[in-house]
Amino acid sequence: MNMRNQWPVLPIVAGLASGLLTGCGTQSGGSGGDAPSVVLGTSDDVLATDPASGYDPGSWLLFNNVFQSLLSFPKGGTEPEPDAAKECSFTDALTQVYTCTLKDGLKFSNGDALTSEDVKFSFDRMLKINNDAGPAIMFPMLDKVETPDAKTVVFNLKVADATFPSKIASGAGSIVDHKEYDADALREDGGAVGSGPYKLDSFGDDEAVFSVNENYRGTAGDAQNTGVTLKFFSGDQKGLKQALLDGDVDIAYRGLTAADISDIQQSTDNAGAEVVEGSSAEVQHLVFNMADPVAGKLGVRQAIAHLIDREALIKDVYQGTADPLYSIVPAGITGHNTAFFDRYGARPSQAKAAAALADEGITGKVKLTLWSTPSRYGPATDQELTAIAAQLNASGLFDADVKSVAYDRYEKDIAAGKYGVYVKGWVPDYPDADNFTSPFFGKGNVLGNNYTNNAITGTLVPRTAAQSDRTATSTDFAEIQDLVAEQLPVLPIWQAKQYAVVGENVYGLENCLDASTVFRFWELSKG
C-alpha cells in the first residue's frame, strides 16, 4: 500500500465524542468480572494478524488491543505516554538516540516474559521482512536497536526524528514474542501472541473473538467487559446496519454510509440506536500523475482546482458528514493552514479555470478520466468522483468520465503509471503534520504520482523532523503546504467527521474514539 493510504475513509463508522477526555488509566490488567462481552460489527476486513504485515484499519484495530507498544496514546490525548516502557526519552542532543526502560513483570498472554530481546526482535523482524503491506516504511530512519540489558532498549537513528516516539506508539510498534514468531517470515496461522489488554482466541472469515489478557501490565486499566467479538461484514453496509438495528451487534464500527447514518438519526423507528459524532484527521485527495500527458500539465490541474465545488460534494454526496479540506494538513493538526483556499478560493470559477487552460495553450475541451475504486476509500467514492466529473463538464471546459476498478487492479495500475487522475484516502498513523507530508513526497512516495520537490524532501521535512518542539514547526509546514498548493500534485477534497452508531445500553465510546485513531476495547461496556 504502503503506509495507510489504503484506509477507507469517510463516511465510515468511527467516532469521537465532542470534547476530548484527558488522562490515562492506571497500571493494571484483568477482566471485567461478570460484565457482558461486547459485539462490534465492521465492514472492514482484518488483512493481517501479524504486525509485520498489516497496515490497514482492521488490522490495526486488532494490533492496538492484542499487542503492546513501548508507548501508547492515552484516551483523548495525542502525546504518547509510557506503556510497556517505564520511561523513554531521547538521550542525545540531536534526537538520534532514543532509550526506553521496560516495566517490571511484563508477560505475554502465553506467560512468556517480555524483555528487551523481544522489543529488538520485533523491530528487526519487521524491517527484515519489509512486507509490501506492512509498516516497515515508517522507519527509514532506524539504524539499529541495541539491548544493553534485559530491560533497556536503545534505538539508534540515522537522522534526527522528533516524531519517533509517536511512530513507535502506533500499531507499527507492536511487540511480539520472539519464541512465537519466525525472524524472517510472516506468521500465517491466523494466530497472534502479544502482551496487550486482550488475547486473540479465534480468527475466521466471519468473526474474531477476543478475551481479556490476565497477564497484561500496562496503562489501559481494568477491562469493562469480559471479551469482544468482532463480526466482519466485508463491505456489506446494509447488512451491518440491519445487524445493529436487530441487536445482533452492539456497535457498528467503520462501514455505514452517510445515508445510513442520516436514516438512523432521523427515523423514529430506530429509537434504540444512537449516532455519536465527532471530528477526525481522515482526509481524501485527488491525486495527479505528474508524468501523465494531460494531468501532468499545470494548467489542467489549476483548472480542476478552480472548478471543484467541495461544499456541493459534501452536501449532495456525503450529506454533511465531512468538512471541506483546503490543505494537505487537516484542521486540528498543528501546522495546518488553508493554502488551497487562499490560492483557489471556495467557489468554482469558470473564468479562472479557462484562463489557466489558455495559459497552457489549451483551447478545446480537456478529455479526462477520473479513476476510482468502489469501497476502499469509503462507500460513496464512485458517487463522489461522478459528481466531480459532472462539475468539470458543467464548466464546458472538460469532457470527463469516471472509471472504477477493484482495489487490487487499482493499486497495480497506479504503480504502472496508467492513471492521470485518481483518488486516495489517508488516515494518519500518528497525529502530527509530519504524517501528512513526509510520506507524500519524494521518491517512492505513497501516492505513486511521480512528484518530487527537493526543497520539501531535502530541507523542510528533515528540518521539521528534527524539531522536538512541534509547535515550532508551523512555519516550515506552512511553506510545504503553500508549495503543494502552487504545484498541485494533489488536490485536497474533504476531511472526515467520524461517527459511531451504538445500540441501547452500550457505554464507553467517548474513551475509544479520538484523534489517535486507537479503538480501545477495554473501555466498552454493556448495561
Q: Is 210 helix (H, G, I), strand (E, B) or coil?
A: strand
| Residue 278: predicted pLDDT | 63
> Residue 410 half-sphere exposure, CB side, CA atoms within 13 Å?
21
Question: Grid coordinates representing 145?
Answer: 536497536
Q: What is the DSSP code string of 32-79?
A: -TTPPPEEEEESS----SSTTT--SHHHHHHHHHHS--SEEPPTT--S
pTM for the full predicted model: 0.83
Dihedral sign of CA atoms 503, 506, 511, 512 in order: negative
- Other C-beta atoms closer than 10 Å to the C-beta of 350 total 14
Q: Is 443 helix (H, G, I), strand (E, B) or coil?
A: coil
Distance, in Å, from the CA atom of 305 to the CA atom of 492, rounded to the nearest integer, reads 9
* Cβ burial, residue 462 (10 Å; 0-12/13-18/19+): middle
Q: Which of 58, 68, 187, 195 is nearest to 129 (CA)?
A: 187
Q: Could you give phi then psi for residue 323, rounded to 5 degrees?
A: -125, 150
Q: Could you give phi then psi for residue 226, rounded to 5 degrees?
A: -95, -5
Distance, in Å, from the CA atom of 64 to the CA atom of 102, rounded to the nearest integer, reads 18
Q: From its phi and psi, is residue 304 left (phi > 0), alpha (psi between -120 and 50) or beta?
A: alpha
Q: Which of 17, 40, 37 is nearest to 251 (CA)?
A: 40
366 strand-pairing partners: 398
425 strand-pairing partners: 284
Whether 80 contacts 166, CB under 8 Å: yes
The amino acid at residue 130 is N
Distance, in Å, from the CA atom of 3 to the CA atom of 14, rounded to the nearest integer, reads 20
Distance, in Å, from the CA atom of 277 to the CA atom of 388, rounded to the nearest integer, reads 26
| Residue 509: predicted pLDDT | 84
Whether 322 contacts 10, CB under 8 Å: yes
Query: Largest Cα–Cα distance of the chain, in whole Å?
Result: 73
| Residue 36: predicted pLDDT | 85
- Other C-beta atoms closer than 10 Å to the C-beta of 359 total 12
| Residue 200: predicted pLDDT | 98
Whether 449 contacts 289, CB under 8 Å: yes
| Residue 271: predicted pLDDT | 58
Distance, in Å, from the CA atom of 196 to the CA atom of 218, rounded to the nearest integer, reads 8
Output the CA angle 43-378-422, nearest 5 degrees.
140
Give, as one character, the DSSP assignment of residue 2. Answer: -
Whether 42 contacts 240, CB under 8 Å: yes
Helix axes 237-246, 258-266, angle to 10 degrees: 20
| Residue 12: predicted pLDDT | 34
| Residue 268: predicted pLDDT | 56
pLDDT in tens, the chain (527 residues): 333 443 333 333 332 222 222 222 334 455 555 668 999 998 878 889 999 998 888 899 999 999 999 999 998 788 899 999 999 999 988 889 999 999 999 999 999 999 999 999 999 999 999 998 899 989 999 999 999 999 999 999 999 999 999 999 999 999 999 999 999 999 999 999 999 999 999 999 999 999 999 999 999 989 999 999 999 998 788 899 889 988 999 999 877 777 888 788 776 566 578 887 766 788 999 999 999 999 999 999 999 999 999 999 999 999 888 899 999 999 988 999 999 999 999 999 999 999 999 999 999 999 999 999 988 888 789 999 999 999 999 999 999 999 999 998 999 999 999 999 999 999 888 889 999 999 898 777 889 999 999 999 999 999 999 998 888 999 999 999 999 999 999 999 999 887 778 888 898 888 887 777 888 999 999 98
Helical ranges in 130-216 per DSSP H: 164-169
| Residue 236: predicted pLDDT | 85
Distance, in Å, from the CA atom of 217 to the CA atom of 223, rounded to the nearest integer, reads 12
Question: Grid coordinates representing 201?
Answer: 482466541
